[in-house]
A and B are shown apart, each in its own frame.
Chain A
């Protein structure tokens, strides 16, 4: 119930292509869904986030699609660039806003080939 399942584990995309990473959850009490980007040797950094009352959120080349009934959400990276090569984590907040406890997916290593 406290899990977030992320797929694929790794992804290779050509420059200019679309990268899609999927996550699924079971706990309907999760109320906030961020995506974090992590480069080697660095800490994760918040990329984009969404609340369950919104079906889509777009920031530049990054879009989150959220399907509340299916309990799934995904990250789309349009026009993928070599600089996007990193590990991406989806997460869900457990605690209804009273805490910042985040449950993370296992991560997806993205490689964008020039």
Chain B
């Protein structure tokens, strides 16, 4: 158990809908990362927050947004969902912003029908 929690574990929704994925980092970790894992794209970095501020951005679609709250938990919002958004979404956390040891959560499996 990495200490990172993600909810929900599974999510089934329809195209065009909006969903929110939630992540609680390990106690004391200030950085939260979001990754998307799919069969064709592999593990892709989406975005990093450090102590409430956006730190780094990857190939995150404009339909996707994230934030980190004062209690350090983070939410990833996915809107106008498409079939191709079906994937595993992982959250990871690390103590600092350099991300040298990232602890991954168990993931949220999203299925868009």
B5 to A: closest C-beta gap in Å: 11
A99-B55, A100-B33, A100-B56 as given contacts; A43 in contact with B45, CB under 8 Å: no
Across the interface, do A104 and B98 meet the contact criterion of CB distance under 8 Å? no
Q: Report the number of A-B residue pairs with Cβ-Cβ less than 8 Å.
A: 70
- By a beta-carbon cutoff of 8 Å, the part of chain B in contact with chain A is 2, 4, 31, 33, 42-45, 48, 55-56, 58, 90, 92, 94, 97-107
Q: Which residues of A contact B (CB under 8 A)?
A: 32, 34, 36, 41-46, 49, 89, 93, 95, 97-107
- Name which residue of chain B comes closest to A34, CB basis: B100
Contact yes or no, B2 A99, CB < 8 A:
no
List the A residue with the shortest CB-CB distance to B58.
A101
* The 6 residue pairs across chains A and B that have the minimum distance between CB atoms: A100-B99, A43-B104, A99-B56, A104-B43, A101-B56, A97-B98
- 21 A–B contact pairs at CB < 8 A? A32-B98, A34-B100, A36-B104, A41-B106, A43-B4, A43-B106, A44-B90, A45-B103, A46-B101, A49-B100, A98-B55, A99-B55, A99-B56, A99-B99, A100-B48, A100-B56, A100-B94, A100-B98, A100-B99, A104-B45, A106-B42
Residues of A within 8 A of B103 (CB): 45-46
Q: Which of B43, B45, B48, B104 sits near A45, CB closer than 8 Å?
A: B104
Contact flag A105-B42 (CB < 8 Å), given A43-B104, A43-B106: yes
- In whole angstroms, how far apart are the Cα atoms of A42 and B56 in the complex? 25
